[in-house]
Amino acid sequence: MHRTILAAAALLWAAPVPCPAQAQIALSANDNKQVWENGVVRTLPNPPADTVNILDLGATPPRIVATVQAPHSIVGPPSSVALTPDGGLGLVASSNRVDPANPTRVVPDNRVSVIDLRASPPAVVQTVEAGLGPSGVSVNRAGNLALVANRNAGTVSVFRIANGRLEPVSTLTVGPPASGVSHVQFTPDGRFALVTRDADFMVSVLKVEGEQVTAAGRDITVGIRPYSFGITPDGRWAVVGNVGRLSGDSDTASLISLTSEPFRAVDTITVGATPEGVQVSPDNRHVAVTLINGSTRPEGHPLRGRGQVVMLRIEDGRLQRVAQADIGTWAQGVAFSSDGSRVFVQNMVEREIQVLSFDGQRLATIDRLRVDGGPTAIRTP
C-alpha cells in the first residue's frame, strides 16, 4: 500500500491540481459503443472512442485525474482492467469491437492496451494481442506477470511484464471456446490462479511456477454461471458471483477456501438477481456485490427492479448478508477505498460512479461522480 500511495502521489503531482495526502488510484474503463434503451442494448453508429478514467478515490469527493482513450467493452465481467502493484502501468482489455462489415453490431476483439500511468499525461504505450474476447485481467503481486481470460477462446493468455511493456509468454487452453472463460486472478502468494467458466459452471485452478502456467487438475463446483470474483488480500478466501440464467430468479455467491489444498467451495448464499461485480475489502472481512436485479428490463416488465449493492461478511467460513442499498441501472464493477469505509459502484446507464459509505453495518449513498462514458470495469492496485 505504501508503494501504491507513492506512485499515485507522483501521478497527481504531474497534474495541475494540489496533491492530496492520501491518494488512491483506480482505473475505471468506459464503453461508448453500446447503450441501453428501454430494455434493448443498441450498438451506436460511429461512436466516440472508449475511454479510461484514472481516478483518485482518496479525494472527497473522488475525482478524475486524467482520461485516456483505449478500446474497451461492456461484454465480460467488470474486472477487465488491472494495475501493476506499483501503480505504474494499467492494463485494459477489449472483448468486443464494432463489426467493420455491420456497424450495428459488435464482434469479438483481441486487444489489450498498456497505459503508462507515470507519463504526463498518462498514455497508451503498447497494444498487445490476447485471444478472442479478452475479459478479466490480473497482475501478480511481484508485478512481473499478467493473465488475461479470453472469453471467446476458452484460453488464458500469459504475459511477462518488463520495462513497462507486456511480452507474450504462452497461451493455456482452459476449456472449449464455448466454456465462457471469464475472469482470472492470481492468489496473493502467486502460486496459483483461479479462472471462472460461466458457460460450464465451474472454477478451474491454475498452477503458476515462475512464468509457467498450467492446469492444476482441480475444477471447483460453485453456482450457476460463475463470473466475477475477488480474492481476499490475505489469500484465505475467494468469493465468486454466480450470475445464473438471467431469468429474474435470485442468484448466488460462493465462498472458496484457499487455506489448504485442494481448494474447495465451502458455502453458497443467495444474494439477488444477476450478481455482476464482486470485490473484497482490504481488511479481508467484507465482500461487495453489485446486482443488476432486473434494472435492464423494459419499463413495465414484471421482473424489472432497481440495481442493488449487497455487502456480505466472511465469518467462520460462511458468508453473511449485512447490508444493501439501491444503485443505478445495469450496474457493473465495484471497488473499496483503502480503509474500507467507502464503496464505489459503476452505473452504466447513468454514466456515473456512485459513492456509498460503509460503517460495517450500513450502506448509504454520499456522492456521485459523472464520467465520460458507460463505466464497465474498475480496479485498484
Model confidence pLDDT, tens digit, residues 253-277: 999 999 999 999 999 999 999 999 9
Q: How far is it, in rounded angstroms, from Cα 297 to Cα 231? A: 31
Radius of gyration of the chain (CA): 19
**β 275-280/264-272 pair status:** unpaired
Tell me the pLDDT tens digit for each residue of 262-317: 999 999 999 999 999 999 999 999 999 999 999 999 999 999 999 999 999 999 99
Average pLDDT over residues 329-349: 98
| pLDDT score for 22 | 63
User: What residues does each domain of the chain span?
Assistant: 2-379
**Residues 117-141 pLDDT 10s:** 999 999 999 999 999 999 999 999 9
Q: In the structure, what pLDDT confidence band is assigned to residue 61 with cuts at 50, 70 and 90? A: very high
Fold for 2-379, please state it. Methylamine Dehydrogenase; Chain H (2.130.10)
Tell me the DSSP string of 288-332.
Answer: EEEE-TTTTSPTT-TT----EEEEEEEETTEEEEEEEEE--TTEE
* Average pLDDT over every residue of 210-224: 97
Could you tell me the pLDDT band of residue 112, with boundaries at 50, 70 and 90?
A: very high
Q: Other C-beta atoms within 10 Å of 161: how many?
A: 20
Decide: 289 and 312 in contact? Cβ < 8 Å: yes
The set of residues, in sequence order, having a beta carbon less than 8 Å from that of 239 and lying 6+ positions away, is 229, 230, 232, 253, 254, 255, 256, 278, 280, 287, 312, 314, 319
**How far apart, in Å, are the Cα atoms of 181 and each of 3, 6, 224, 226, 290?**
32, 35, 14, 10, 20
Q: What is the pLDDT of residue 23?
A: 83
What would the mean pLDDT of 215-231 be, rounded to a whole number? 98
pLDDT at 4 over 90: no
Q: What would the mean pLDDT of 42-58 be, rounded to a whole number?
A: 96
Across 161-185, average pLDDT:
98
pTM for this prediction: 0.93
